[in-house]
Structure 1
Amino acid sequence: MSKRLFFLLPGLIIGSFLLAACTAGGQQNSQVKLASVSSLPKQMQDAPVAVRTAYQFAITNPDALQNVPCYCGCGAIGHKSNLACYIKEFGADGKPVFDDHAMGCSICVDIATDVMKMTGDGKSPAAIRQQIVDTYSKFGPANQ
């Protein structure tokens, strides 16, 4: 039994260091601010995690999503940016008036998720916009 431990111990130590390195590398994204789940309407609170997180990101980071177009075809319903897929407007009290479009649109959610990741990675708004255009323009016309 002690021979087994002797051979397993280096693997456990190396594994621990690798896990710590992966965790440290992922901490940049944890700096992205998200609104609380309780600030969302019930239907959005109950949405799949990716959808719910995208709405939480939209509330707290509207400029990030307003900077990028959406490619799902929502320009036809008046959306001017990816932000419009989540929030119609902010009221005089600062509270968002939600749009439920992104509840059923994976392209909208994918774009917001990519913007959130790149924001957490410290990319500039111009670089984020260009990456979204490069990645999603194949899906249809931009809404801005």
Structure 2
Amino acid sequence: MNIHRLIIKLLALSVVLAFGLFISGCSSDKSKTEMSEESDMPDFVKDAPVRVKEAYQYAMDHPDELAKYPCYCGCGNMGHQSNLSCFIKPENFGYESHAAGCGICVDIAQDVMRLKGEGQSSPQIRNYVDAKYSAFGPSTDTPFPTE
């Protein structure tokens, strides 16, 4: 009788472990699956610090989101329309090198990525960006998001 109970317990444990392995194999690391491949990036991004790479990846994968927020580094005089313009060239959807050397651009993108991940709405994020970065310089002429 004791051997029978041991076999049942081992079978139950095996089923639980197999299920756990199955579940972990099916789960995905959201940040990896939602990000562009680094191999597609130019050298000025590949050679940059991790925070810069993450910001460029986010810009490539979520251009409509970053387009909702202004940049406050003074890049409006370069023709930039939003924080997205610091990372992506609008005319050919290629990489813009400006953000690779600008901490304000990267910080704004990182804040957007974090706040969006926390479930904040675009207007809430815009208010946060305006409050945090408006002292740094003039903003790009970016319309306030409606969503």
Tell me the TM-score range normalised by the shorter chain: 0.7 to 0.9
C-alpha RMSD over aligned residues: 2.1
Partners of 2:83 and 2:66 lie apart in 1 by 5
Matched with 1:63 is 64
TM-score computed with the length of structure 1 as normaliser: 0.73
Partners of 1:110 and 1:129 lie apart in 2 by 14
Identical counterparts, % of pairs: 47
Partners of 1:117 and 1:32 lie apart in 2 by 16
Partners of 2:129 and 2:70 lie apart in 1 by 8
Partners of 2:33 and 2:105 lie apart in 1 by 19
Asked if the contact 1:32/1:120 (under 8 Å) is kept, the reply is: no
Structure 2: stretches of 5+ with no match in the other structure: 1-29, 142-147
Matched with 1:39 is 40
1:31, distance to aligned residue in structure 2 (A): 8.4
1:33, distance to aligned residue in structure 2 (A): 2.4
Change over 3 Å in CA distance of 1:61–1:32 after alignment to 2: farther
**Looking at CA atoms only, which structure, 1 or 2, has the larger radius of gyration?**
2
1:60-139 paired onto structure 2 within 5 Å: 60-89=61-90, 91=92, 96-139=93-136
Aligned residues: 114
Higher strand share: 1
TM-score computed with the length of structure 2 as normaliser: 0.71
Task: Give runs of ≥4 in structure 1 deviating > 4 Å.
Answer: 29-32
Structure 1: stretches of 5+ with no match in the other structure: 1-28
